Each structure stands twice: as C-alpha cells, then as structure tokens.
Structure 1
Amino acid sequence: MPLLKVVYLSNNTKLYLWKITEDFDMLFSQVKLKDSSLARLESMKSESHQKGFLAVRMLLQHNDYSDFDLFYDEFGKPHLKPQGCSIKDVEISISHSNDFSAIAISDSKVGLDFERLKEKTLRIAPRYMDVSHLKNLSEQEKIKKATVVWGIKESIFKIKNEEGISFLNHIFEEDFSFEDKKATAKLIFNNKEEKFQIQFDSVEDYIFVCAFEDVK
C-alpha cells in the first residue's frame, strides 16, 4: 500500500509511516539503489528486514529524496544530503518493526523508535527503566508504558550514539501518563547532563517515540 500516515510533530519535523503489504519484488522494482545499498540488501538474511529496508527508500522517494541522498557518518547515524541551495544536512531518523517502516525528517536533531507492543518489553523492563513508573497500571497499560520508555531510551541513544551509554544507568525519563503523548527525559553521561523533549503515540498495535534535544 502507499504511505499510511504523516504525523506533524512540529513546524520542522514530520514522521512518515509505511505499512508494508507489498511483496519483495514489488518493492524492489520501485526503488533505485546505489551499489553499497544493494550489497547491504543482499546480505540481509531476513525478508522482513529486506522489505523494511526497501520501504524506507519508498518513504524517501515520497519526499523527493532517494537512496543516493542518504548517507551515514562515521558513527553510523543517517543523514540526508541538502537539496537545492541549502548547505545544511537534513536530519533523519529511521526505524523498522515487522510490517512498518518509519522515518522522521527534521531541521533539528531527532531520534525515532517504532516498536510493536509485546509482553517481552514489560518482562525485561527492570533492565532498562525505573519500574516504579509502572505502579497502579493494568497489565496492558504497563506494556504500553514500558514500550514508550524503551522508545525514549532508544530514540535518545540514536541522537547521541555514544559508546558506553546505558539505558538503565544514564537515561532517565520523568514519570508521565500515556494520555499526555509527551514526556521529558535526561541523559547523564561523561559528567554532562542533557535534556530531551519526547513525543509519542500509538498506531494500530505499535508505539512510535520521537526525541528532540531540549535547546531551551
């Protein structure tokens, strides 16, 4: 199917979701890949990962970019080449989960995570979060909130991408209600504290989380 949804997160940030219903051949026929991307695609053992990879390129093309405009820095973070007269790289974050691919495009640094709701995320919650934030919730509410917290940690890590960052010991979310669809968090690492603004929501049985550096 075509683009499923566009979420306007701010004046300069949009989230694009693609629900993957196409088979591999259909997706492959619709995109153009540079040689390095083709080699990467061929190295993937899972067809689900291959289709997620191709669906990301479909989202790029929807925004008048292509695989040739996407590049990765020395730390593995994705970037988009500037278009037209702009000299500034466009910020992008990418996530894929099962039948969905998602990208966030922004003028500011952004981290995106897209996760399916599953019981395992709650089961391992003590490894990455303050479980007191799950008190007085139903089992399903706990799964949703734990998934958001995991997304907060993952999306902040995608922005910073520094070796040694621990989800449990370095990234801390302020308690929040799922109905707020927003939260705040901080990273305390290497004797430095950084704050982040968080936006999240549900799509079908998935959760998306976007993190932004707090520049106030």
Structure 2
Amino acid sequence: MPFFQQLHIVDTHVYTWQLTETVVQLSSGLTLSQREEERLTTLHSEKKQREFLALRHLLREAQLPTTALYYTSEGKPQIEGQYISISHSHDFVMIALSPHPIGIDIERCTPRILRLAPRFTPWQAPSDMDELTQIQAYTQLWTIKEALYKIADLPSVRFYEDLQVPHFQSFASRQQALITHPEGDKAYETRSFFWEGYIWTVVSEE
C-alpha cells in the first residue's frame, strides 16, 4: 500500500510507511541520486532495500528531498535545519521530524521480550499480569528506552542504568523518562502508541 500515516504531535511530525510493496513497486516514481543508487546496490537484503526506498518515500511525504538525509560517521541520521529519528520493525518504517532533539522506536510484540527484559530494565511485571500483557508492557518499555538511547546520542550511555523510566506505568500513553548524566539528570516526555501487535514511542525534550 502507499503512504500509511502522518501524525502531528505538538511540533513533531511522525510519518509511517507500511511495507507491502516489492522493490520494483517502491522504485516506481522515485528518482534517486547517483549516491543513493550506489548505496541501494550495496544492500543485498531485499528487506533492507525496501526499507531504504520506503524511507525516501517518507521524506517526500515530508516535502523533503531524499538527498537531504545524510549520516554522521557514527551512523546517526541527520537533516540540516531540523532533527530526525528513524525506526523500522518488520513491515513498518517510521521517521520523526522536529525542531528539537527527538527519538522514535517501533517494535512488534513477541514473546522474546520476556527473555530480554532482565537485561534492559529493573522493572518487573506484577505477578498477576498475564503473559500477553507482560509482553506488551515490556515491549512498551523497550521502545521508550530505545527512543531515549537515540535522543541521548552518547556512546558512553548505559542502556540499563542511564535510560530510566522511574515510574513506569504499562499502557500509559504519556509518562516521564530520564537520561542520567554526571552533571545531572535530564527529563523527557514519552508518548506511546499501540496498533495491532505493534508499539511505538516518540521521546522529546520536556
């Protein structure tokens, strides 16, 4: 299908593409620069190629030239004049654009998160919470911390210790998160969304 969704959150714009097309279909009507064409040929996975092309469709939906996107030596996406964050999971590609630092992450809810949970959070689900609800809760928490990690942009940040949701409430659409720094903690606002087995969160400065 074509462009899936645009969402406006205060001064942040979120664009979502649902990947149902082939590489050929996504290439149709899309003019790439020589550098982009060369980059596309280095992607040997069809999934990566589809994500690459869908991302450029999203940039067009945001009325930006596809060549506006570039990456730092550390691999962080950049667009001159504003901040961008990118995420993808299975059949979805998302970008968030904002005049302020921004982080976004989307994840599909799978049982694997239950095994990973002790590695990324001290929070423990209540004993009376059923497994499906636990999966959703931990997935939400992961998306918050992953979006925080992107907005932190600090190689030294510790995922478990420094990215915190001190009063995490599962399924709450809005809550506060922190990134701890030696010079003091910095607070961020998180907004989580739930859609047919997926959870995505956007994090911005308060």
Partner of 1:30: 29
For residue 168 of structure 1, report the CA deviation from its aligned partner.
Answer: 0.7
In 2: Cα distance, 1:213 partner to 1:20 partner: 30
For residue 191 of structure 1, report the CA deviation from its aligned partner.
Answer: 4.4
1:62 aligns with 2:61: yes
3-state SS of paired residue (1:148):
helix
Moved over 4 A (4+): none
Q: Deviations over 1:23-71 (max 9, x none)?
A: 1111122322233333332222321121111111101111211221112
**Matched residue type, 1:78:** P
Partner of 1:212: 204
3-state SS of paired residue (1:177):
coil
Tell me the TM-score normalised to structure 2 length.
Answer: 0.92
Select 2:169's aligned residue among 174, 177, 180: 177
3-state SS of paired residue (2:31):
coil
For residue 74 of structure 1, report the CA deviation from its aligned partner.
Answer: 4.1
Q: Which runs of 5+ in 1 are unaligned?
A: 82-88
Conserved? CA contact 1:174–1:183, under 8 Å: no
Conserved? CA contact 2:152–2:179, under 8 Å: no
Partner of 1:85: none
Partner of 1:2: 2
**Matched residue type, 2:50:** K
Conserved? CA contact 1:30–1:58, under 8 Å: no
In 2: Cα distance, 1:150 partner to 1:7 partner: 21
Q: Provide the identity percentage.
A: 30
3-state SS of paired residue (1:118):
coil
In 2: Cα distance, 1:104 partner to 1:159 partner: 11
1:101 aligns with 2:93: yes
For residue 213 of structure 1, report the CA deviation from its aligned partner.
Answer: 1.8
1:160/1:179 Cα in 2 relative to 1: closer, same or farther (>3 Å)? closer
In 1: Cα distance, 2:152 partner to 2:169 partner: 25
- Alignment: residue pair count: 205
Conserved? CA contact 1:75–1:161, under 8 Å: no
For residue 105 of structure 1, report the CA deviation from its aligned partner.
Answer: 1.2
Question: Structure 2 matches for 1:53-202, cutoff 5 A?
Answer: 53-81=52-80, 89-132=81-124, 134-135=125-126, 136-202=128-194
Conserved? CA contact 2:7–2:14, under 8 Å: yes
3-state SS of paired residue (2:56):
helix
Conserved? CA contact 1:152–1:211, under 8 Å: yes
3-state SS of paired residue (2:37):
helix
For residue 137 of structure 1, report the CA deviation from its aligned partner.
Answer: 2.0
In 2: Cα distance, 1:188 partner to 1:177 partner: 20
For residue 196 of structure 1, report the CA deviation from its aligned partner.
Answer: 1.1
Conserved? CA contact 2:3–2:17, under 8 Å: yes
Tell me the TM-score normalised to structure 1 length.
Answer: 0.88
3-state SS of paired residue (1:50):
helix
Q: Which runs of 5+ in 2 are unaligned?
A: none
For residue 169 of structure 1, report the CA deviation from its aligned partner.
Answer: 1.6
Conserved? CA contact 1:184–1:198, under 8 Å: yes
